[in-house]
Amino acid sequence: MTKLSYINGLPLVLLLSGMSSPAFAGSEDVVVENAWSRASIGVNRPGAVYMTVRNTGEYAVTLTGLATPLAMMPEIHESKTNSNGVSSMAPAGEITIEPGQSVALEPGGLHAMLMMLQNLMIEGETFPLTLTFSDGGEVAVEVPILGIAARGPES
Task: Please give the residue ranges that form the binding site for Cu ion (CB under 5 A).
Answer: 77, 89, 113
Length of the chain: 155
Between residues 60 and 67, which has the closer beta carbon with respect to Cu ion?
A: 67
Q: Shortest gap between Cβ of 70 and Cu ion (angstroms)?
A: 15
Between residues 38 and 77, which has the closer beta carbon with respect to Cu ion?
A: 77
Separation of alpha carbons 147 and 139, rounded Å: 25
Whether 134 and 64 have beta carbons less than 8 Å apart is answered as: yes
Q: Shortest gap between Cβ of 82 and Cu ion (angstroms)?
A: 16
Q: Shortest gap between Cβ of 2 and Cu ion (angstroms)?
A: 44
Between residues 30 and 92, which has the closer beta carbon with respect to Cu ion?
A: 92
- Using alpha carbons, select from 20, 29, 21, 23 the residue that is nearest to residue 139: 29
Between residues 25 and 76, which has the closer beta carbon with respect to Cu ion?
A: 76
Cα–Cα distance list, 19 to 2, 4, 59, 79, 139 (Å): 13, 9, 17, 43, 23
Q: Shortest gap between Cβ of 50 and Cu ion (angstroms)?
A: 11
Separation of alpha carbons 151 and 34, rounded Å: 12
Between residues 66 and 141, which has the closer beta carbon with respect to Cu ion?
A: 66
Whether 149 and 80 have beta carbons less than 8 Å apart is answered as: no
28: helix, coil or strand?
A: helix
Q: Shortest gap between Cβ of 15 and Cu ion (angstroms)?
A: 48
